[in-house]
Amino acid sequence: MSAENNVPAIRFKGFSGEWRDNKLHQVVDVKSGRDYKHLSIGNIPVFGTGGYMLSVNEALSYDEDAIGIGRKGTIDKPYVLKAPFWTVDTLFYAVPYTKNNLNFVYAIFQKINWRQKDESTGVPSLSKVAINNISVFTTGETEQTKIGNYFQQLDTLIEQHQQKHNKLLNLKKALLEKMFPKQGATVPEIRFKKFSGKWEEKKLDKLLKLGSSKRVHREDYVSSGVPFFRGLEISKLGKFTKLDGILYISKESYIQLKESFGVPQVGDILITAVGTLGNSFLVTNTKPFYFKDGNLIWLSEIKINNEYLNIYIGNGVGRQRILNSAAGSNQKALTMVNLKNVLVIFPCGKEQTKIGNLFKQLDTLITQHQAQLKKLNNIKQACLEKMFV
């Protein structure tokens, strides 16, 4: 934005001139929601701060679309309301005046820092006065429509990827429940064709080597070098989440540790042992890293399919068995002594590989949609900054 000219940094071709400085009450009519309990069941949706609640037989707005904004509770999650609808008394609905585009105004609502308008000392609250007095800049109806349509298309793309992402997560959850034997069972509910027979069960220490790392002291941390992961970072790595605040050790220290004690190799698994227990991370590349002793337990020399084992210990019966082995009364922790007796149930090698590959492919698809969602949301945030005054 140019502070002097009141124009956005990015603009569609063919538009020029300054944007108008308004108070929000000049752009929208903020109306109050009401209790719905006296109404009968019908086909008119009722909305609250969390979204759709149920359907009734009357509407507060029959033909005017609006933007819902929380009066109490969730005050920073505006969303579009398509008529007819009813809103409860904790949700205002803002109807744009004539010549103000709904999607354009909705984008403005997403730019506003609603938390700064909170008037309470307890449950977050907004008042009509606070909403109406917010300063906003608007442009002509044609440019508003152009901008509004662009953000509507962007939101549609984001929603499509979110739906695909959610479907994949639900599919993974369903398969995890069906493709592994439940407690006390020896076969799963569903399995790949041509596989049959009971699954085998062994203690964890019969299938791999349990270990930890050599202690690294705080004074050995450096500003850059080889990443030094704690339980928090391993949990995030296992969920494909961005890492912040990473610690490092020098390359020289890493080489010494590698030569004298060994370091995780491709195919090894790390399990969080304190704090949030039982999160697992399968090492899949040769990029060097080291990890904190006590925070994590190192599974190496794994004799069954490592993709399969990683899925098993991180979900369902396998995860529960890991957690049940935790020691301690107040602050529970996983120990190598207890983990070695945890039972692992598994099929033949070929079936392990099939199961491991299936969930690996699912995780790859989930990660791709997560990345696309992040990219689209970053684009949207950048456009909200650059395309408005």
Mean predicted lDDT score pLDDT of the chain: 93
pLDDT tier, 46 (very low <50, low <70, confident <90, very high otherwise): very high
Query: What pairing do the DSSP bridges indicate for beta strands 28-31 and 91-96?
Result: antiparallel
Query: What pairing do the DSSP bridges indicate for beta strands 290-291 and 269-272?
Result: unpaired
Q: Is the pLDDT of residue 316 over 90?
A: no
Q: What is the pTM of this model?
A: 0.82
Q: Is the pLDDT of residue 305 over 70?
A: yes
Q: Is the pLDDT of residue 230 over 70?
A: yes
Q: What is the DSSP letter of 130?
A: H
Q: Is the pLDDT of residue 268 over 70?
A: yes
Which position has the higher pLDDT, 323 or 183?
323
Please tell me if the domain spanning 20-138 has the same topology as the one spanning 200-346.
Answer: yes
> In Å, how far from its chain's centre is CA 289?
25
pLDDT in the model for residue 241: 60
pLDDT tier, 2 (very low <50, low <70, confident <90, very high otherwise): very low
- The domain limits of the chain are 1-18+140-171+351-389, 20-138, 200-346
Tally of CA atoms within 13 A in the half-sphere of 281 that contains its CB: 26
pLDDT in the model for residue 1: 47
Largest distance between two CA atoms of the chain: 77
pLDDT tier, 310 (very low <50, low <70, confident <90, very high otherwise): very high
Which residue matches tokens 């399968």?
282
Q: Is the pLDDT of residue 239 over 80?
A: no
Stretch (H or E) spanning 165:
helix 141-178
pLDDT tens for 111-131 read 999 999 998 888 999 999 999
Tell whether domain 20-138 is in CATH 3.90.110.10: no
Mean pLDDT, residues 332-348: 95
Q: Is the pLDDT of residue 238 over 70?
A: no
Tell whether domain 200-346 is in CATH 3.30.565.10: no
Q: Is the pLDDT of residue 8 over 60?
A: yes
pLDDT tens for 364-389 read 999 899 889 999 999 999 999 999 99
How is the beta sheet containing 86-87 ordered, strand by strand? 51-56, 41-48, 86-87
pLDDT tens for 160-174 read 999 999 999 999 999
pLDDT tens for 142-152 read 999 999 999 99
Query: Judging by beta carbons within 10 Å of its beta carbon (0-12, 13-18, 19+), is residue 329 exposed, middle or buried?
Result: exposed
How is the beta sheet containing 221-222 ordered, strand by strand? 221-222, 247-249, 226-229, 290-291
For residue 84, is the peptide bond before it cis, meaning its omega torsion is within 30 degrees of 0?
A: yes
Cα(148)–Cα(345) distance, rounded to whole angstroms?
Answer: 55
